[in-house]
Amino acid sequence: SGHQFSIWAGQLGDGCMVSILVTPYPSEPNTTYELQLKGAGRTMFAPAQSPSLAILHSSIHEFLCAKGKSCSSPSCCFFSPYCDLFNTAMYTLSMPTTHSISLISLPVILVTCEHMKPACVLTGVTPSFIHFSFQPSHWNVFHQQQAAEC
């Protein structure tokens, strides 16, 4: 739960992520890693209208952009330059990022969006799946007002 667009939203997210394991890192016993499935189905936190399934095409992008899993060749993926820039920035800020370790297509299961799309399950691992976000539109409005005053 939390705030979204400066308003108390109660429940955030679509409830499609489920943590299945927290384990110590073999060479660093004081460091734990969390294994999480995205799109594995409904959880107790899923809103009634959410199918809690991951869509294949957006999950492919997420898989390719996960740290350590970006494309080996810049020409193999449109997102490659963006992914590398994002991962470099997060590493420089000492921010842990998610490693995607598997993507399983479920072509028989379809998710309704604007039209039917194949589902999948994405497996990720990271020290923590706690999410922080911000609303960049406030920043843009502030700078536009400052520019107008000059």
Q: In terms of pLDDT, which residue wins out, 127 or 140?
A: 127
Could you report the per-residue pLDDT of 42-89, keeping only the tens digit for each?
Answer: 766 666 666 678 888 888 888 877 754 444 444 444 445 556 666 667
Tokens found for residue 34: 């969390």
Could you tell me the pLDDT band of residue 105, with boundaries at 50, 70 and 90?
very high
Tokens found for residue 19: 């943590």
Res 33: pLDDT: 86
Residue 69 and residue 63: Cα distance in Å, rounded? 7
Q: In terms of pLDDT, which residue wins out, 97 or 135?
A: 97
Backbone angles phi, psi at 54, to 5 degrees: -90, 145
Residues 103-108, mean pLDDT to the nearest whole number: 90
Please determine, for residue 106, whether its predicted confidence score (pLDDT) is greater than 80.
yes
Task: Report if pTM > 0.75.
Answer: no
Least confident of 3-7, 81-85, 137-141: 137-141
Please determine, for residue 36, whether its predicted confidence score (pLDDT) is greater than 80.
yes
Please give, one letter per residue, the 3-state secondary structure of the chain. Answer: CEEECCEEEECCCCCCEEEEEEEEECCEEEEEEEEEEECCCCCCCCCCCCCCCEEHHHHHHHHHHCCCCCCCCHHHCCCHHHHHHHHHHHHHCCCCCCEEEEEEEEEEEEEECCCEEEEEEEEEEECCCCCCCCCHHHHHHHHHHHHHHC
- Average pLDDT over the chain, rounded to whole? 71
